[in-house]
Amino acid sequence: MPSLDRLAREALLANGFIPEAGEAVVREVAALEDAPSRGEGARDLRQLAWSSIDNATSRDLDQIEVAEELSDGAVVLRIGIADVDALVPKGSAVDAHAATNGTSVYTGVSVYPMLPERLSTDLTSLNEGEDRLVIVIEVELGADGAVRRHDVYRALATNLAKLAYESVGPWLEGQGAEPEKLVASDSLEAQLWLQDRAASLLKRVRLQAGALEFETVEATPVAKDGKVESLAVTRKNRARDLIEDFMIAANVAIAQLLAERGRSAIRRVVRAPRRWDRIVTIAREYGFTLPEQPNALALSYFLGQRRAVDPTRFPDLSLSIVKLLGPGEYVLDKPGPSDDQPHFGLAATDYTHATAPNRRYADLVTQRLVKAAIAGAPAPYTDDELGAIAKQCTDRENAANRVERVTRKAAAAELLAHRIGNVFHAIVTGVKKDGTYVRLLSPPAEGRVVRGEEGMDVGERVSVRLVRTDPLKGHIDFEGLR
């Protein structure tokens, strides 16, 4: 069997990605200098106790955070986003290459970055101990968690500590040792606890508004000497929640700022689910009655109740609801009242993507829109251009998901190859014209039910027998059992 790296690359090419940058990109990158030399007019905030939390293996760091407590109990939260535009100007060869691919692709075995690594993991990455230009989103939270004001500006900042979800999360939950960098700095420890409180305030307000809280299982192949040994499962923890809450707050603030300045933007939306009737049926199976029409607040209450009652099986319920909600998409957002729907899952009327410009092209474009708005400069894109970019970014995101899914399924097919005939417990994740799909509870592998699928629907727990695997194509076939 070809290596997972090779399969991932073949899937990448089949889905229209261009892994190698051209000569023009190589020349541009070779001529680059550090961005701080271009920071004229930016505020100097290097004295603040900035830190980042990301995956331990992450090298493309997009954001840093710092919080400040006010005398009345309010908290000023500052989120610094890498100023990628400072080194990747609109119309450059690097920009054109990034626009074509639209997003970085993370296959679990390889990373195919949207920007050359000289940028994404170095010059535009907020690496520990390096001075970097950032776009700061400043949000002031009242003691009740309500946002009292927001501001956006350019600044120079330094990441004092690169922290990891894997160690900070258990420590915040009281289930793990204090990370070494916090042991060595009392001020940094206090800073993390203040950030944790700010995140809790933000989450509480969002949940009250009807935001949906999910906990899905992410499986990543673990290979040794080219052979798949297992599927590693990544679960949410308090550190991941903290960063998620901060990024949502930042993206909402960015969308609101552009709206306040009368600027067109690219908005991120998740529309009201078309299969709400199935969500209602699933809730009824748990003894809970949802309204006949889509209602985020009611669904949020149901999910919160199930998490409290049965936290072990909550990820399976989350997966079912996520599949029924459907994917998000990017759309053009013009100034003034909009007929478009809000982000159903976040209960947010205004929402964009702006916090990962190293990894997503939509975020880089939004960064340019923001920089023009706060400088009082003309918009760098027309509405027609923004509409086309939104469509391209949606297409590329869907393609990236297909590549990542192919790689995961190839790894799972290799792992399960010796278990033909075994029976597994599974949950139905999709019922489409081309087939019915399930995800095993253990290991969390996904495949298609090729016979015995009659009557299955999303969210249903079923028993299936493994009948065939094809690691080369990433196919895993099951037979439904009754």
If you average pLDDT over residues 420-436, what whole number do you get?
90
If you average pLDDT over residues 17-37, what whole number do you get?
84
Percent of the chain residues topping a pLDDT of 70: 92
Q: What are the extents of the domains in the chain?
A: 4-270+343-410, 276-326, 420-481
With 0-12 / 13-18 / 19 or more C-beta atoms within 10 angstroms meaning exposed / middle / buried, residue 304 is: middle
Q: What is the pLDDT of residue 8?
A: 85
pLDDT tens digits for range 203-215: 888 877 777 777 7
pLDDT band at 81 (very low <50, low <70, confident <90, very high): very high
Q: What is the pLDDT of residue 179?
A: 93
Percent of the chain residues topping a pLDDT of 90: 60
- Name the most confidently modeled range: 64-78, 261-275, 283-297: 64-78
Q: Output 321 or 16, whichever has higher pLDDT.
A: 16
Q: What is the pLDDT of residue 13?
A: 93
pLDDT tens digits for range 149-190: 999 999 999 999 999 999 999 999 999 999 999 988 989 999
Check pLDDT > 80 for residue 68: yes
pLDDT band at 36 (very low <50, low <70, confident <90, very high): low
Q: What is the pLDDT of residue 236?
A: 82
> Considering the entire predicted model, what is its pTM?
0.88
pLDDT band at 316 (very low <50, low <70, confident <90, very high): confident
User: Which amino acid does the sequence have at 82?
Assistant: A
Check pLDDT > 90 for residue 66: yes
If you average pLDDT over residues 426-454, what whole number do you get?
89
Q: In terms of CATH, what superfamily is 420-481?
A: Nucleic acid-binding proteins (2.40.50.140)
Q: What is the pLDDT of residue 434?
A: 82
pLDDT band at 340 (very low <50, low <70, confident <90, very high): low
Check pLDDT > 90 for residue 246: yes
pLDDT tens digits for range 104-127: 998 877 889 999 999 999 999 999
